[in-house]
Amino acid sequence: MRRIRIGVLASGGGTNLQAIIDACDRGEIDGDVVVVISNVPEAYALERARAHGIPAFAFPHKGLTREEHEKDIIACLVQHQVDLVALAGYLRMMTPLFIDKYAGRIMNTHPALLPSFGGKDCHGLKVHKAVIDYGCKVSGCTIHFVTLEVDGGQIILQKAVPVLEDDTPEMLQDRILKEEHKLFPRAIQLFAQGKLKIEGRRVRILET
């Protein structure tokens, strides 16, 4: 079976990127991260990539339209023959240009159980604070395909995580992040194995 070529987009520290790289190295993903791209030149995710010998590129978005910015990223992904795009803490909304190019081949991770606590501006600690303030007893993480609707793509995998009485947003974030680091590589492996089939709003996980 051919190993898939994964391109990762990240805007920050890249802990989910690291989890994906490590899973590839352990043989848990039938694929390899072949390029890492950030819109933030100082993002630590780029350093993580370089430490593993993975080509890493920064494409700052200031002064560009979204489409102009995405054309540069698409050109880089095409050059590296990417099969799957993984958004690992990438804080930019995609335009139809990008989504049409990689339809059914873009995954994102969200630190809540979608469709709750998703959408524009729902990212990072804001999500966990909203969950705690609402009084939820359970939160978690969601791996989903990316569509034009922010956080509205078809759900691939979810993992529930309890919200404890004394939780701060930081404590809840740490607990959920540990699960994201396991769930994202698992979803990518299902893609690599050809086991994901999109049917309308649903993603069916096919048997071997």
Which active-site residues does the annotation give? 110
- The gap from C-alpha 204 to its chain's centroid, in whole angstroms, comes to 19
Judging by beta carbons within 10 Å of its beta carbon (0-12, 13-18, 19+), is residue 9 exposed, middle or buried? buried
In Å, how far are 70, 125, 175, 185, 208 from 179, measured between CA atoms? 30, 16, 7, 11, 25
Task: Give me the residues paired with residue 36 across strands.
Answer: 8, 56
